A and B are shown apart, each in its own frame.
Chain A
Amino acid sequence: MSPSATADTLVSFRDVSKVFVTGSKRRPRTVTAVDSVDLDIRRGEIFAVIGYSGAGKSTLVRLINGLEPISSGTLEVAGNRVDGRSESQLAPIRRKIGMIFQQFNLFTSRTVAGNIDYPLKRAGWKPEERKARVAELLEFVGLTERAGNYPEQLSGGQKQRVGIARALASNPELLLADESTSALDPETTQEVLGLLKRVNRELGITIVLITHEMDVVRATADRVAVMDSGRVVETGTTAEVFAHPRAQTTRKFVSSVMRTVPRADEIEKLRREHPGRLVLVDVTDQNRIGDVLSDAARDGVSFNIAFGGISILQSQSFGTLTLSLTGSDESVDRAVESLRAVTTVREVSE
């Protein structure tokens, strides 16, 4: 076990890669879907994995319950090695891991109650226990009146609630949510995310949530990993990642929901309107940008806020401002240096 894995680590990836071999036998082509990933998911948290399509996030989540075997590295779930196990050896591990899907994947030949009952039946529960458990789960997801309906009679949000109930049936420790709201409209998305939060808070189930929407991360996740081309390029608490996105991909994601950084065409307009030196300044609770700027004013630098925004996430302020600084070259340089001392400053690129 690696030193960073602790007792409250539920899933731990150590240098995990997944390589798919496609093409013909003569001319095989390999695609590295997951590339040397190190990751620890802690018990009780909602952990989001965000990335563009093809970044490897869906593959990553399928490694956790062994739907796809890893190619190299080690992978542990609740202290059990998942790698190198046969389908039948994986069965007991999988029963402790629920999974929900973008397309819901409900059994069309079974009713709502039948779908939820199915995993219990397979796990060998007694009929009376199954009945009670199904009723309890229907109640939890608010679909008691829909017990006898078939999936095609339900809306998308209701289908996903059945999916969640079915995934929770055999009391898993971990719930894998693979783009679970991507097929839903914004309102239904909020409803399903609200339910996932209840699953986490009320039942104490750890959730790994795959998404390509930063809004979903912002609304639910405690921590987030950003994936790009099979690699995890950034990991941190959601607040940290929103406030100080380091990787290029992360910045793009953050700016997709936090339009605080101007786009190239907007920069041109800003340049036309603001003759001063344009700099991007990150704002958080901790830094005192106002103090620095009033000191700079005394030094003969005037400033304008050209672009930007500040928001609050998990009770922390964060955002980015584009400042236009005017004054003598030396005094502007001094102002930028003082800003650098308290926060991250980037020049507005050409």
Chain B
Amino acid sequence: MKKNTTNKIRLGIFVSFGIAILIVGLYFIGEKQQMFSDTFHISGIFKDVADLQVGSNVRFLGINVGTVENINIVSDSSVSVEILIDEDTQKYIKKDAIASIGSEGLMGNKILLINTGPGREKEMENNDIIKTTPPINIDEVLLSLKTTIDNTSSITKDLALISNRIQSGKGTIGMLLMDESLAQDFNTGLHNLSEGSAGLKNLMEDAQISFDKNFDSTLVNLRESSEGFKILMDKAKSSWLLWGF
């Protein structure tokens, strides 16, 4: 009888713990989805939601603050996305905040990003409509990439043609680089220029020497003549013919 009671107690503990684990687990899952916290509701109009789904996370400053509650097509060019956000973050999200669609990592799920706006507006209120920016469309990126690749292909084709022409000695650059006689002429010219410059150097040296010699003798003559002139002037001063001057 006692054993039977013990077994029943054990069974009770087993069942209670099992149910408690389930409840705690469900609570944490629900809490992450803002099911047990106060929330406020905003919405945004997008041209394209790029595979954003109901239940996707809403991230503000890198923190998950809410979930996408509903997605509805409004017209042929606009989709309304209703967002539930934790009420604690309401004071930080201003009216000029901008919503965009991003992804979790390179290959992750789509998420809704709320970015802080440029100004200092009032905080977002319940049922407000948030400004949006169109998501980066992978198809458009690929299209742009294709254009770039096409252009690159065309450029490389032209470069290959130019390279071939240069290699075959066509055109000015081709002749310059590939014609051997031109190179020889160029070498000869350089050699001549080198010789010419050596001759010029010698000539200049000779001229320098000659100039130095002539200049020295000119200076000596000049000094001698100035001395003679000085004597002459002294004599003239003492002559009676120039009294009074």
Q: Do A and B come from one complex?
A: no
Chain B residues with CB under 8 Å of chain A are none
Chain A residues with CB under 8 Å of chain B are none
